[in-house]
A and B are shown apart, each in its own frame.
Chain A
């Protein structure tokens, strides 16, 4: 303070001037440009291989949501009687009373288009990036396969949907109307053919990692043809997959879904998952959706794993359960008794058969006995080799007005595997004999029943019936008040509100 007191007047003026200069000096030299630190501008991304790869991961990641969650079962695996029933009471997919505001429909739409936009944006930018051509093509092929998979699911849920071939960059393109079902299918067919060539030759290591391969694109193309009743093309495409000689049936049905055999030779493409509880999107949620959780039984109150109590959504349809021959496959698919259990409040496994109140799906039931939790790191199956074989049989039967020897061969392979032929669990042929001498209709019915048994809990049933225009008639046969227009689901009501260019499906 002495310092200030001694300051003379001129010194004070100089100080004042200095302060004024500081004041003015501060005004200049500030920028208002925004500098992101933990994200990158869209135009600056997709430049190199690792960026393109994480962007591709971003497309795959959408499959942890939307249709390849329990939605698939609600929408495609459950409606109309066989083979599942909502637990404990029928829901509005069982009795055909779904509405346009259903969460399942909205989430499939939302997540599906997210995946499409991510794939489109990646494909848009990929051309300008500095990546070796073969790598670039493989990434592009996978992105195409993924968007085609989404579009395929969409056209079968809703019919024609808005078709986006490029990423959305401005508000101008957000209100597209629906494109006809045929045009979407045409795009899918074209895109899948290009995906097949992009991903050729077949990469075994990609398959092992859980990525899409040229084989997956072919198998999907076969299903796309079949679904449009383009039977000879479907049969030809199935034959191509078979002739690749890289896929085959797992002799033991139990191992097809086992986390110990992830991405095995039968699992042509599946959604990858990791270990985690029933709340993590990383985990496959199916084990908790089907499995018997806890039950009041003659042995008292018991449970079958430590977590996920009360999460069961589905059980096997009782009549389906009753009428399915007692193959090894059935034992690994549906059970009305369990070989072990935990008494309530205890974590000591009791190895003793206990009768269940209802039949449950145990396809994805892999108990980790060290923790008492269910394993969740198995893939959610999308395309399986048995599917290729059955589609082949089905397509040949339709294309040739009756079953061909190749058709019998294909379906009987699947039937033999159901008996665990070639494993220690092998059952005699009498349990589930091979088919022969059937009419076209009888063969068709047999294939459909085989598909129901082979793919229960994989979300196939609705599409299988739709291929033969039996979706509504089958539901009616089971005493459900189904209407013809219900072959298609309604567009999500929120989307109709947001986009006036969208027209609802008739009947809704």
Chain B
């Protein structure tokens, strides 16, 4: 939504007012849900007459700072209680002076204090966040952090509260060492790549397994995404149909020893997402909202119309042609059209979340609704999500616990095509903006986008405003993720837990190319609808046995799981419409209906698993797990695989000789080994079957009528199996000064064998490749995570968390071949294996660009003749290095590696400051040493038609042959060129948030508010980089089935934005 369309703002404002009104109304009408402290006070006052009064102050054990809002209740009688005021003071009447008080506070350890007749009891609470007692989620269970032996990382809800991310994977960005979260596209709802500990697969999936409340969800689209030309850009994020506002924690199982319990899907790590639950004894209403204004963070500098026309004329002159523009025309052009200003806008985004949560002794609930509206900075691009979330848990009796987690989201993503030049004649927006001559007016006299074909230089190009305003592209997702579960304690130590989960996704893609547009050339409008229905069902059953005796603790888990996924795709399109009015909504009206297509596929996964967790003397920890996975996707000879793991830890800090050093507050050595797999490939890959088609890219005609076709699609591979990853992990955890400073470090060595590769076979076979387990790859890396409480005082607090990690990737084998080319680049046509930009070679890392080396310009005809390596070059065109020195430049023989898209290291830094009622949050992350192949740079600067302002005064002319940029008549060489492979290291100020906590005791004369805060955030405040394009964090090939082969290509990607956001959080 644009800021100047007041009508839409009005609608949203009304929505907001309605909620506010609703809350106030409900609040007044039902005092019982005003808040816990008020109702608890009411109860305690009832027993005043016979009471014993006790009071005191609750402080933080380490800082001595008073803690406001601490719950103080009577043990055994949760209805009698109070909470501390802003000075940490409490006062409570209790029935007996021999009762026990229970002090509890979020993030602190609960403390029970018998009154023993005292009337004044001061209590110190210890923070539990870094004390090691924190419970974390592990596969199929929970564990105390201090008792873990594997490599994990956590993002807590406190980390999440300041960010404005759209999906849970984005929330991991910069938070956990070794977890690389790369934004592929800055479009609303755009693609994100999550890589845990380096790229371990080329063909199978590269994304971690996501498990939400125990349900492994589906993260890949099957076929539906690739039809209709959608596959041409960075794909949308499949997780953007999941809201993050009710996430309690995200746990990443990084190392194989921790992840191996998830077997054949764990090689890329496992992300365990746990959503929030209601808390016993509370009745809370929370309302969170934010409104932001986004603008483009960085614009490119293009020529104006006069400069452009002069360059064109100069090029014509150099080619011996008459000038294209007359002097009179040039004089009239002036600055012409700034196409960036035409298509980029200020955009308003909004977030609302309303949550009711609470609980009593044997039931707790959370009911929540949310909406998110992100308007993109490109006209008419936006992302809207509406959803509900319900978590309910009940303990009907001491043996049984039942519960359900349900979420439903509706996502509407209006897109303007970026990250692609487009396929065929479907243009992309950014490439159009870059190509659009500034000499052409944006709109005609009627206010419609001008028709480019009527203007000189506009032939074959689309007006960018036609792309934003008239082309229609929408992706729609309805997604339900839910489960119901129950735990039954068969014996005191033996529990059976069963969970049935479902992930249902209905994806719909709509596309309309308007009449007269380049993309519907000759067809009078093209409309398409694609849909994919994914039904993923899972049944998990585990038996857990726990026993503690003397100084030993033992936990055994055994389980079985069954999961299946069915995909149904349907695609239909029609050409030829009487008007643009119907868009994609009335396919039947098309005079030229296209053959519809549909498909169905199904896979099944059957698993058995077990885990032993043993602790001796709170010093020695041993964990071992074993999983057997059977997967239908693999060859008849290889349906089942096994995945063992073992890890051990030594809590050195608990040994006397360490304790005596008085240096460490905790110290732990960890070792782990595990085997995992990657099974994320399409279905039916091991079979040879017949493909059928009746579409544009596969059909024939007799008698002027289209007929369907059939053809064999591959060679069968009955031995097809999953990729096998073996990983060693060595870890060290340290805590100092009562854990005010903690350091955790890991070194890992991860080797993937049986790597799935589409082994290229000679095309004379009739096929291009067979999928086979032939590759080997190794990733090694170091991860360091540091947390520290720098300043802890009464009024000022400062804490920092920092993580840094570096991964080294090496291809060890590609089966028989030494290298393969991959990744399509527009300007890399005609040479070196078609148009590929990346070469994957044994002994090198993946995502390495490969091409020719820029060596300045040809200064003169004489130089061209004398050097002789490029005899057909023209003066002022690009000179490439004759690398092999054979006297002739040839891209096939004179190419080399130009750099890798993988960073040398990446880091994240979070600083939280609090001063009295103010909080300041600063979050920075970055990557160092990565390269991007910048296609817009080629297009604007080195290609003949280049519009970059840099060329204005610095292009080659016969008079100034030493200028650095090509002559006006220089054409593109159509080959990947080192000048376009640029450093894309960056440091991003992702989020700065200043929050003011309104002192509620003063404001709330009625005691309505439990808490209230207002704040202002800047998302993407600044990016420090030398990258010449819109944004260095880019990957136009991101997403999809095999996202790892090519990274770091900027193929006209969506520019990044800067957002100023105002936040309001209210608790009732």
Residue numbers of A with Cβ under 8 A of B are 1, 3-5, 7, 12, 15-16, 19-20, 22-23, 26-27, 30-42, 45, 51, 54-55, 57-61, 63-64, 97, 99-103, 106, 109-110, 113-114, 116-118, 120-121, 161-162, 164, 167-171, 173-176, 208-211, 262, 272-282, 293-294, 301, 303, 306-311, 344-346, 371, 373-374, 376-377, 493-495, 497-499, 502
Determine the chain A residues whose CB is within 8 A of the CB of B716 once the complex forms: 42, 169
The answer to whether B698 has its CB under 8 Å from any CB of chain A is yes
The stretch from B62-70, B134-142, B700-708, B1024-1032 touching chain A is B700-708
List the B side residues contacting A60 at CB < 8 Å.
Answer: 700, 709
- A277/B523 contact (C-beta < 8 A), A174-B761, A309-B460 known: yes
Cβ 8 A contact of A171, one of B684, B715, B829: B715
Query: Are A344 and B690 in contact (CB-based, < 8 A)?
Result: no
Given A1-B394, A34-B687, A42-B689, check contact A23 B764 (CB 8 Å). Answer: no
Which residues 755-776 of B sit at the A interface, judged by CB distance below 8 A?
A: 760-768, 770
- B602 part of interface (Cβ distance < 8 Å): yes
The answer to whether B498 touches A4, judged by C-beta atoms less than 8 angstroms apart, is no
- Residues B444-463 near A (CB distance < 8 A): 451, 453-456, 459-460
Query: Closest Cβ of chain B: how far from A111's Cβ, in Å?
Result: 9
The verdict on B844 contacting chain A, using a C-beta distance below 8 Å, is no
- Beyond A31-B604, A109-B763, A344-B454, is A281–B696 a contact (Cβ under 8 Å)? yes
B424 at the A interface (CB under 8 A): yes
- Point out the residues of chain A lying under 8 angstroms from B833, CB to CB: 101, 493-494
Chain B residues touching A, range = 35 or more
What are 21 sample pairs from A and B whose C-beta atoms fall under 8 A apart?
A5-B396, A22-B498, A32-B604, A32-B639, A41-B688, A42-B688, A42-B712, A55-B709, A103-B830, A106-B834, A167-B712, A169-B716, A171-B770, A210-B702, A272-B704, A277-B521, A279-B521, A282-B699, A345-B454, A345-B455, A376-B522
Q: Give the docked Cα–Cα distance between A39 and B522 (Å).
A: 33
The interface residues of chain B lying within 8 Å CB-to-CB of A1 are 362, 394, 396
Name the 3 nearest CB pairs between A and B, nearest first.
A117-B766, A345-B454, A277-B522
Q: Is the CB of A61 within 8 A of B698?
A: yes
**Given the interface contacts A32-B606, A32-B631, does A176 sit within 8 Å of B687 by beta carbon?**
no
Q: Is the CB of B834 within 8 A of A118?
A: no
Set of chain A residues within 8 Å of B736, measured between Cβ atoms: none
B690 lies within 8 A of A39 (CB): yes
Binding site for A on B (CB under 8 A): 362, 394, 396-397, 399-400, 424-425, 451, 453-456, 459-460, 488, 490, 496, 498, 520-524, 539, 541, 543, 560, 562, 592, 598-604, 606, 608, 630-633, 639, 683-684, 686-693, 696-704, 706-713, 715-716, 760-768, 770, 817, 829-834, 872, 890-892
**Residues of B with C-beta under 8 A to A308:** 521-522
Given A38-B601, A45-B690, A306-B522, A274 contacting B706 (CB threshold 8 A): yes
The one of B592, B708, B760, B834 in contact with A57, judged by C-beta atoms closer than 8 angstroms, is: B708
Q: Which residues of B are found within 8 Å of A374, using beta-carbon distances? A: 522
Question: Would you call A294 and B703 a contact (CB within 8 A)?
Answer: no
Contacting B598 at CB < 8 Å: which of A38, A276, A493?
A38
Q: How far is the CB of B396 from chain A (nearest CB, A)?
A: 3
Least CB distance from B513 to A in Å reads: 11
Residue of B nearest to A209 (CB): B702
In the complex, given contacts A1-B362, A101-B892, A114-B763, what are 7 additional A-B residue pairs having Cβ atoms less than 8 angstroms apart?
A16-B496, A34-B687, A59-B711, A121-B766, A161-B764, A170-B715, A344-B454
Q: Knowing A27-B560, A32-B604, A113-B764, say if A345 contacts B702 (CB, 8 Å).
A: no
Contact B712 A272 (CB under 8 A): no
Cβ-defined contact, A282 with B710, below 8 A: no
Known: A103-B834, A169-B715, A277-B522. A41 touches B690 (CB 8 A): yes
Shortest distance between the CB of A167 and any CB in chain B (Å):
7
Given known contacts A20-B496, A101-B832, A51 and B710 CB-to-CB distance under 8 angstroms: yes
B contact residues around A121 at 8 Å (CB): 711-712, 766
Q: Once the chains are docked, how many angstroms separate the CA of A56 from the CA of B425?
A: 30
A498: B residues at CB distance < 8 A = 760-763, 817
- In the bound complex, what is the Cα–Cα distance between A117 and B631 (angstroms)? 31
User: B710 is contacted by which of A12, A54, A272, A309 (Cβ under 8 Å)?
Assistant: A54
Q: Find chain B residues with CB under 8 A from A63 CB.
A: 700
CA distance A344 to B450 in the complex (A): 13
Task: Decide: A30 and B764 in contact? CB cutoff 8 A.
Answer: no
Q: Collect the chain A residues with CB atoms within 8 Å of residue B817's CB.
A: 497-498
- CB neighbours of B710 from chain A (8 A): 45, 51, 54-55, 57-58
Please name all residues of chain A whose beta carbon is closer than 8 Å to the beta carbon of B892 when the two chains form the complex.
99-101, 493
User: How long is the Cα–Cα vector from A376 to B699 in the complex, in angstroms?
Assistant: 16
Q: Which residue of A lies closest to B601 (CB)?
A: A37
Contact for B766 among A38, A116, A273, A293, CB less than 8 A: A116
Q: Which residues of B contact A499 (CB under 8 A)?
A: 762, 764
Are A210 and B703 in contact (CB-based, < 8 A)? yes
> Which residues of A lie under 8 Å from residue B490 when comparing CB positions?
16, 20
CA distance A404 to B639 in the complex (A): 73
Contact between A282 and B709, CB atoms less than 8 A apart = no
Contact for B453 among A7, A54, A210, A344, CB less than 8 A: A344
Q: Which residues of A contact B606 (CB under 8 A)?
A: 30, 32
With A58-B711, A344-B453, A373-B522 known as contacts, the answer to whether A174 contacts B702 (CB < 8 A) is no
Distance in angstroms between the alpha carbons of A161 and B762 in the assembled complex: 13
Known: A103-B829, A106-B834, A210-B701. A279 touches B766 (CB 8 A): no
Collect the chain A residues with CB atoms within 8 Å of residue B362's CB: 1
**Nearest chain B residue, comparing its CB with the CB of A273:** B701
Q: What's the minimum C-beta distance from B901 to chain A, rounded to whole angstroms?
A: 23
CB distance from A377 to the nearest CB of B (A): 6
* A174 engages B690 (CB within 8 Å): no
A63 to B683, CA, bound (A): 29
Q: In the bound complex, how far is the Cα of B866 from the Cα of A104, in angstroms?
A: 32
Query: Are the CB atoms of B763 and A113 closer together than 8 Å?
Result: yes
